[in-house]
Amino acid sequence: MKRNIGGWVMVGLVAVCCGMMGSCKKETKSGGGAPPPRQAQKIVVGFSQIGAESGWRTANTESIKGEAAKRGIDLQFSDAQSKQENQIKAIRSFIAQDVDVIAFSPVVTTGWQEVLQEAKQAGIPVILSDRAVDVTDDSLYVTFIGSDFIEEGRLAANWVVKATGGKANIAELVGTPGSAPANDRATGFREVMAKYPEMKIIKTQSGDFTRTKGKEVMEAFLKSPEGKQINLLYAHNDDMAIGAIQAMEAAGVKPGVDIKIVSIDGVKGAFEAMVAGKLNCTVECNPLIGPALFDAVEKLMKGETLPKRTVIEESVYEQSQAAEAIKTRAY
């Protein structure tokens, strides 16, 4: 433990010295034995991405790669293909390469204790991007940069209040049960809803964040006894909303008119649906975290301390803004 702290202090000192000298040169680093002196003066960041499972993720990756190139940071990028073991391997290889900062979007929340301990012992700071981890010792990472899913739920509910005057019979399409975005987006929404007794969730089922399930569940909702009363749909992501729109059309219900729809993420498909008048509102879950990520990296290199939580700014897009916004969407 003592040696670790020493290592951290040394890293900090070296970084501060570099910062004061006005250069980002960092020749040596104490901590895990005697690391080989590095010739390059660039900051080296190892990033382990979850995979390329959606358009959102691709935009996230591009934002990180693009920002690194812009700032002249040496980015070691590794794709985990949605597997935790790949991610642990990647992190271990970053430690072996003795990078300056490790950043990663964890595939799952648990099982990180050991590998993060190794990074800490090697004196390499770890930044979490987009998703949090479940560890008992929060000194294992320096900061968590990403969206606040609870706030997204609140924003969606606020829009519902605005659009319906706090009176709605809501059908909810929940994400994958147990996942952080599904839990938090449900929590945030209900928090706001508690203040409006005439906002009622009359149907709630999981659509697993997919179009197929979103469509299948909405189909069943519309045929259920309460189906006729539904006048608002809250989907935990855009894809389920897009599936549900297809189900409504097949059932002769006008999406966006007979049933108003609000969803979260802000992917391109959602903007297209808004332009077509079939979706009313999407709460953006901003994937463009590159700038915030490398701001944090540079601050770390200067020896500044970071807050444990860095929240990314998010906006709410309504139908009227969609046509304008779609032109500038990166994802």
The Cα 220–Cα 135 span in angstroms is 40
Query: Which of 126, 141, 241, 253 is closest to 185 using CA atoms?
Result: 241
Binding mask 122-161 for other proteins (x = CB under 8 A): ----------------------------------------
What is the signed CA dihedral for 53, 182, 216, 275, rounded to 10 degrees? -70
> Which parts of the chain fold into alpha helices (H)?
2-20, 55-71, 84-97, 113-121, 149-164, 180-193, 211-223, 238-250, 268-275, 290-301, 319-325
Number of chain positions touching other proteins (CB under 8 A): 36
Residue 70 found at the interface with other proteins (CB under 8 A): no
The rounded distance, in Å, linking the Cα atoms of 124 and 312 is 24
The torsion region of residue 22 among left (phi > 0), alpha (psi -120 to 50) and beta comes to left
Q: Could you say which residues in the range 191-250 bind other proteins, by CB under 8 A?
A: 203-206, 208-212, 215-217, 219-221, 223-225, 227, 239, 242-243, 246, 250
> Could you give the string, one character per residue 268-307, with x where binding to other proteins holds by CB under 8 A and - elsewhere?
-x--------------------------------------
For residues 76 to 95, the per-residue mask of contacts with other proteins, x marking binding by CB under 8 A and - elsewhere, is -----x--------------
Cβ-Cβ contacts under 8 Å for 162 (sequence gap 6 or more): none
Query: Least CB distance from residue 61 to other proteins, whole Å?
Result: 9
Q: Does 255 participate in binding other proteins (rule CB under 8 A)?
A: no
Query: Footprint of other proteins on this chain (CB under 8 A)?
Result: 52-55, 58, 81, 174, 177-178, 203-206, 208-212, 215-217, 219-221, 223-225, 227, 239, 242-243, 246, 250-252, 269
